[in-house]
Structure 1
Amino acid sequence: MKNVIGMVAGLCFLVSQGYAQSDIVISNTTTTSYSAYQNEDGPMRSKTFSKSFSADQSDKIVLSNVYGSIQVKIWDKKEVQVDVDIKSYSNSEQEAQKLLDEVSIEASKSGDQIAFRTNMDQEQKNWGSGKSFGGKKWRREIRVNYVVNMPAANALTLSQKYGSVTMADLSGALYAKVQYGNFNAQNLINTNNYVSVQYGDCNIQSVNNAVIKQQYGKAVTIGTVNTIDLNAQYAGVKITTIKGNATIKQQYGSGVSIGSVENLNLNAQYANINIGTIKGNANIDQQYNNLTIGSVGKVNLKSQYTSVSIAALNGDGNFDMQYNKLSVDEISAACKALLVDGQYVSISLGFNNNYNANLDVHTSYAAFKYTDQVTARLLNDTKDYSSTKDYTGKIGNGGGANVKVKSSYGSVTIR
């Protein structure tokens, strides 16, 4: 009898959700099925929802879901279809049915917006499963899983709380917010993409231009990106290729790993940074941990308590450092101006054999060592025991470039 009442109630719901604009609705079907299925975790009840709307290219699609997942698929039809599978779990069939009845899907088309939203009366109640103090198993869960079929070119806004999002290729603009779940996407082609992930992972195969915010979770992993503005907290960052400009802020987490990037603005705290190639310019501000760069063009770096290691510097350099060390293996002739200011920093600079520059070194409580590629003399008649010394000289034949090094409570080695 309860099943009959439930089916009648479902039909009444359909009638009440009818639309005056019937021409925009391709299908409007909600099917409900009930089950007294018993497993080791208790009874389960379920129902399904399906609805479609015609969609012009200018229409915007909005999805809002909790406790489940959103899977976005792409098709060639000029319509949006959403199929939802809803399941409830509890210790009794009555409670499972009550949970199921409190979940509904609201679907509408108004103007250029097509929206699907999960409504739940008890969203903030005690969910989960486990054992009570007496050892009795309990379970109280809802699963609302969306499967969305849509055209690739439509703009998409989605929100998923307590669940994950999986996306196929999308050429429309994207705004995605995921909390307590993962975001997984293939190719995001549009120039306007915003992704926010909290307490989950973000995985994108390729993206054109993107703004990404990641808080907590294992990592942001991206294959290829054109330009990116990324803010990551308590999560790692791994990007294979950045074709254009990148602005990255990283706090804590497992660090940042970038294969190659054109131009980089980086602000990092308490994270290890590893970058293969910076083809153009780099502006870096880092506090604590390590910075490792394979090769870089022009660099402007400010750091505190950071170990900095650069294999090749192929442009001008400006280093303002406090504590730890700086090591540059090879500085090429493309570097015409190099300024290093270090406090409590061990400085080691290696120059290409064909490098020629004028050299000025100022030390305070710091040692100065150099190889036969360098000629230097003390500017003043300061006694050897003086804590402050100024040197002038040249690297190679001198001229062509200017190198200035200032060190307090550290050391300077030029080779």
Structure 2
Amino acid sequence: MALIAVKVDAQELVVNSPSEKTIVYTDKSTTLAMVNTSNYKQTGNDAERSKSFSKSFSVDNNDKINLNNQFGSILIKTWDKREVRVDVDIKAYSNSDNDVQKLIDGVSIDATKNGDVVTFRTNMGDRNGRYGRGVKNGVTTWRREVKVNYVVFMPAVNPLTVSQEYGNVELGNFSGPTSLKVEYGNLVAGNLSNINNYINVQYGKCDIQDLNAAVVKHEYNGPVTIGAVGTLQLDAEYVAVNINTIRKSADIKIQYGKGLTVGTIGGNLLLNAEYAKVNINTVKGNTVVKQAYGDLNIASAGKIAVNAEYSNVTLGTLNGDANINMDYNRLSVNEITPACRNFTFGGEYVSVGLGFADRYNANFNVSTSYAGFKYGSNVTSTTVSKDDETKKYSGKIGSGGTANVSVKTEYGSVTFK
């Protein structure tokens, strides 16, 4: 490829060489160097053709950059110039010389600036027949495909929209708003410090170091790995999600897959989980959880409300009020601290085990139907009423006081430790 900088008054300059044709266009705001190579390369039984494209636009901080590519990759590098430049390397592969030429000829790049919008778009030609490659016993038996790889140089502040199909996207630290969509490929990003980030990945991995605030949607494959995020809205299906730190609040929906693992949540958590295991170390704010067919484990929680079905719920330290409703399986709270002034549980077919801090003092009421009630030495209990089906108990935990613990359950068991 030849990328040539020239100063001419004409709109087009043609430079010929024995192996390539270079066309250089100039106007007030753009420079384009497009090299249509006739380079031919035979790799094993495959024929290969390649060509390159490069174009740049001058931009200000408000100009929006749109990138739309398929069958390749997008690598975004930031610089201090008030300019966006895209270099594209295009390669085609086929078992047939004629076919590989048709494939490479069918690929073009549209590059435009309309108002405040700069767009680079890959157009693919007719790809009738099989497309991709076949492998048998580790050996490629046929190959018919195109690779279109973008390298983008742009300021870090401009609004950026990316759509990539069948390939990866890589982006370093970036301060402008982003909308990043990747299908059948992976997304890797550094620190996305804007308050507006939209991430959509399907059939790939997502690895982001830091997000100020983001909406993240991910389906299939994975995992989703986020080092830290300020405010998060997440919708994930059939993937594993791993987040070290959520500095503020999060609204998370996760279904199927290998589940959710979070270190610390500094604010509130709204969680809806189905068929997925959840492990969270600390939630400092309020927590509202709907959980079905998957275990919930929170090592340290503040105020919490849980509605669970067919799930084991385990809370380590409870530092706030709790309202828990469950059907089936087990509830275990290791330590309820004096910060919990009201604890309410209602459920069916649940084994309930509650542990209390040494300094915890509260009154309690327990109602059981076809369920036993056991308690330790720090609990004093009186049977208020009983029949063959239902038994009611009241008493004190520690010395009693203004805090209240209320448990109503059918079947299962209740234990105060």
The interval holding the TM-score normalised by the smaller chain is over 0.9
CA pair 323-126 structure 1, distance change in 2 beyond 3 A: same
Tell me the equivalent position of 2:82. Answer: 78
CA pair 131-400 structure 1, distance change in 2 beyond 3 A: closer
Distance 1:30 1:63 in 2: 18
Distance 1:93 1:202 in 2: 37
Shift in Å at residue 397 of structure 1? 1.0
Asked whether 1:304 is paired with 2:309, we answer yes
Distance 1:254 1:340 in 2: 28
Asked whether 1:277 is paired with 2:279, we answer no
Tell me the equivalent position of 2:398. Answer: 396
CA pair 123-79 structure 1, distance change in 2 beyond 3 A: farther
1:206 to 180, 204, 210: 210
Preserved CA contact (<8 Å) 2:40 2:50 = no
SS in 1 for 2:98: helix
CA pair 69-75 structure 1, distance change in 2 beyond 3 A: same
SS in 1 for 2:221: coil
Tell me the equivalent position of 1:325. Answer: 330
Distance 2:18 2:369 in 1: 88
Distance 1:149 1:393 in 2: 70
Shift in Å at residue 46 of structure 1? 0.0
Distance 1:197 1:95 in 2: 32
Normalised TM-score (structure 2) = 0.92
Shift in Å at residue 122 of structure 1? 2.5
What are the equivalent positions in structure 2 for 1:3-402 lying under 5 Å apart?
11=23, 22-25=27-30, 27-122=31-126, 126-130=130-134, 137-262=141-266, 263-380=268-385, 382-383=386-387, 386-402=388-404
Structure 2: 5+ residue runs without aligned partners? 1-15
Normalised TM-score (structure 1) = 0.93
CA pair 219-123 structure 1, distance change in 2 beyond 3 A: farther
CA pair 24-246 structure 1, distance change in 2 beyond 3 A: same
Shift in Å at residue 7 of structure 1? 5.6
CA pair 410-41 structure 1, distance change in 2 beyond 3 A: farther
CA pair 370-32 structure 1, distance change in 2 beyond 3 A: same
The one-letter amino acid of 1:345's match is V
* Identical positions, percent: 50
SS in 1 for 2:51: strand
Moved over 6 A (4+): 3-6
RMSD of aligned residue pairs (Cα, Å): 1.8
Distance 1:138 1:354 in 2: 73
Aligned residues, how many?
Answer: 399
Greater shift, 289-298 or 142-151, is seen at 289-298
- The C-alpha deviation readout for 1:28-47, integer Å capped at 9, x for no partner, is 11012223211125111000
The one-letter amino acid of 2:90's match is I
Distance 2:130 2:250 in 1: 42
Structure 1: 5+ residue runs without aligned partners? none
Greater shift, 370-379 or 329-338, is seen at 370-379
Preserved CA contact (<8 Å) 1:195 1:212 = yes
